[in-house]
A and B are shown apart, each in its own frame.
Chain A
Amino acid sequence: MSRSYHSREARWLGAVSLTMVVLGTIALSGCSRPYLFMRTINEEESRYVRFQARYGEGQDGVALKFAHPVVLGEPEWAHLLDNIVIQEQKKLLAPGAAQPALRSAFDEDGRRYLAKHLAEGFQKARPDEWVVFYLSHPREPGVVEIDSGGFFIEEERLHFIVANYRQPVSMAFIREQIWNDPLRPAGDSFYDVIPQDHQTLQTVRRKDLTQSLLKQVSDLSIDYSAQLNDDVSGDGETVGRSIEDRMRILKRLRDRDLISEEQFRMKRERLLERL
């Protein structure tokens, strides 16, 4: 073989190596894993609500100072969850199909379960702890659907990170991955979160959650005081709660200094007028 042959060969092998290194670097840039510290609030075979603190290189845990603990009752949580609305993405090549309907993200059972344990959890959450959840439902033999994500409160806003929604999973190791880290998306979603009043939605790169520079997650930010306030004074049919429930929520808001005495009186009068 000639020297030039060797030279060309070495050059091309160098190019191949460079290719591998570049791709490897891009991918491995997502390999730093968080240290997760979990405490259980409630755990059943197919679902749980936990505290989760995330620490480690590239993680936000150390710097996070959430506005926790926060006292909100079960009815308030039920209402906030009720107002998280999702919509199935429109199918490709289905021009005649109707726009999928908006619906509450959680069914009655899931909402009740989450509301109960979020209320309990947020009263005890530390400033560095998310409150995370995992809900699974059998879809068919060999496949479960998983909802997972987490909540935190920061600067008077409740943040809801939707990591997995109705995610069908057939392999146990993916189920375990989500079980162990419910904030990590296991795949693309076929549902969109649709922001309502007092809600804003951001699609954000959170490498600390996705462990990848390439993936993004949906962060629904809710002005929960305003939402609860509106709920109390809003149209009963829309909100779907009794006047009595609303009065109870209103009283709690006042007791927790989330609304002023004047606001409390004004809204109570409005509610009483509807009787």
Chain B
Amino acid sequence: MGQIALQTRLPRRASPGGATVIVLALAVLGAIVLAAPQESDAIPAWARKYDADCAMCHYPVVPRLNSFGQQFRRAGYRTPSEFNKDQDLTNVGNFLAARIRAQLAYDNTKGTVERSEFRFPDLSIFYSGALTRNFSAWIHAFSNNSTSVDFHGHVQGIYGDSDGFISVRVGQMHMLQQEGVGGFDRPTGISLPPIQALTLTSTSSLANGTAQAFHFDLRQKGVEVAYVRGAGRLLFQITNGLNQTGSGTANLGDIDPQKDYLVAYEHLLDEIASGFTLFYYHGTNHGVATSGTPPTSTFGAPTLIGNRFDFSRYGFNLSKIFPVGGLGFFEIQGGYIRSHDNNPSLVGSPGQLSRDVEGNAFYVESQQYVTGPELTFFERYSWMDLNAPRPNSTRKDYTIGVVMPIQTRLRTTAEYTYTDNRFSGITGHLALLELQANW
């Protein structure tokens, strides 16, 4: 993720005719849209299994979930009538699904050369579903821009009935992003809200404390215990936490004697997708900084136990959807996260104050869903103070976009983001045009 993150790039020559590429791509997209046949013999696994259109579980577009879809996922990919019932595993098509996303991107960041490029951010294979009366599994293999292949998954057991049950998940899984409600359930457009996808604290090279490269769009290894009752879910996760890559996803490297933990409560407010999430995350890391040396790494080193960092993130996310006559829906969504990185005493050069790094971040987003063409417009404003005590440390992102499902298996999205990062002094434009297929 982090498609709107500013990147360090080598200056290149501007490629002429970028606008032409966009226009040509639009023409191709238009042709695809208008010429697309209306068959329905290939759709994602669970839609096949239940003979159901996407709208049974998704709103307003795939992959965001409505309440039925949320409960289906909470229950280990079971409908209410499937609790404590054996599963038929013979049809591979009920478990196997794939997704591909192709993008045309235009990136114009101040101080670098503007560029346009085709991107291939996601090719995913899923093999998932309920396996037995009580157990289910999720496997996700994906390739990002053809550079690497990553696997993650979990095994889940549930105990109870559809009115109330306990769920235990073990494996590598998302903490909240992609697994939550009220705006934590994946974006409607392409990019995630920056406050969920980017690091919330930052420091300059002058040692004034250091910051944790932590965000909520990570898949961590651990265990989750959750209690689901009606519309609510209370969950508790214990995870390895950050490792030497800062991602929480490396195969080895967790040397912490302490584990990270997350406590959250999610509540669904209606049958569409309104809801809220309250959360508190506490992490521990072990930095390599020593006295007199500005910290060069913000991550725990797998070979050194010392310089313990504690950090925490807490806040909420909320979305509420209002019907607008028979025309569609209006959604208001937002979230706030407070971050606190408790630096070790050794950090900081002599004569400089060593102090904690704090961040504040919020975003607000509105969405307008038009029935009929099933068109969704969205607009988002995100504000992050990356180092609250320091002046001029805010980053603002303005995003607008539109999503249109072409068919059951295809959706197209256009999204534009303007970033104004006062902390780094960099502004930039990022425009994305994406075609996504699920089958």
Contacts and interface: CB of A to CB of B under 8 A. Distances in A.
A93 B53 contact: no
Interface string A59-100: 000000000000000000000000000001111111011000
A202 to B, nearest CB: 13
B372 A211 contact: yes
Contacts of B114: 8, 12
B429 interface: yes
Contact of B92 (A13, A93, A190, A216): A93
Interface in A119-152: 140-143
B54, B71, B91, B373: which has the most chain A beta carbons within 10 Å? Answer: B373
A129 to B, nearest CB: 21
Contacts, number: 164
B38 interface: yes
Contact of A140 (B51, B81, B93): B81
Interface stretch (A26-34, A226-234, A262-270): A26-34
Contact of A94 (B57, B91, B370): B91
A8 B323 CA distance: 40
Interface string B408-428: 100010101000000000000
Contacts of B393: none
Given A19-B433, A31-B370, A33-B372, A188 B108 contact: no
A92 B56 contact: no
Contacts of B404: 23, 26-27
A214 B407 contact: yes
A31 B408 contact: no
A213 B272 contact: no
B53 A141 contact: no
Contact of A24 (B14, B57, B68, B375): B375
A46 interface: no
Contacts of A171: 55, 59, 66, 68, 271-272
Contacts of A216: 38
Interface in B342-401: 370-375, 400
A189 B351 CA distance: 71
A97 B373 CA distance: 36
Interface residues of B, number: 66
A215 B30 CA distance: 15
Interface string A197-218: 0000001000000011111100
Given A13-B429, A141-B162, A203-B38, A188 B93 contact: no
Chain A contact residues (Cβ within 8 angstroms of B): what range?
35 or more
A92 B93 contact: yes
A102 interface: no
Interface in B6-48: 14, 18-19, 22-23, 26, 30, 33-34, 36, 38, 40-43, 48
A92 B44 CA distance: 10
B68, B71, B329: which has the most chain A beta carbons within 10 Å? Answer: B68
B191 to A, nearest CB: 14
Given A140-B80, A142-B80, A171-B68, A16 B416 contact: yes
Given A12-B108, A91-B93, A168-B50, A24 B429 contact: no
Given A19-B433, A27-B373, A213 B38 contact: no
B52 interface: yes
A57 interface: no
Given A19-B26, A94-B92, A168-B56, 17 more contacts: A12-B18, A14-B19, A16-B22, A19-B22, A20-B416, A27-B374, A27-B375, A28-B370, A140-B81, A142-B80, A170-B57, A171-B66, A173-B329, A174-B55, A180-B326, A186-B55, A214-B38
Interface of A: 1, 8-9, 11-16, 18-20, 22-24, 26-31, 33, 88-94, 96-97, 140-143, 166-174, 176-177, 180, 186-190, 203, 211-216
18 contacts: A9-B429, A12-B431, A26-B30, A27-B374, A89-B40, A93-B92, A96-B90, A141-B81, A141-B162, A143-B79, A169-B56, A170-B56, A171-B66, A171-B68, A173-B323, A187-B408, A214-B407, A216-B38
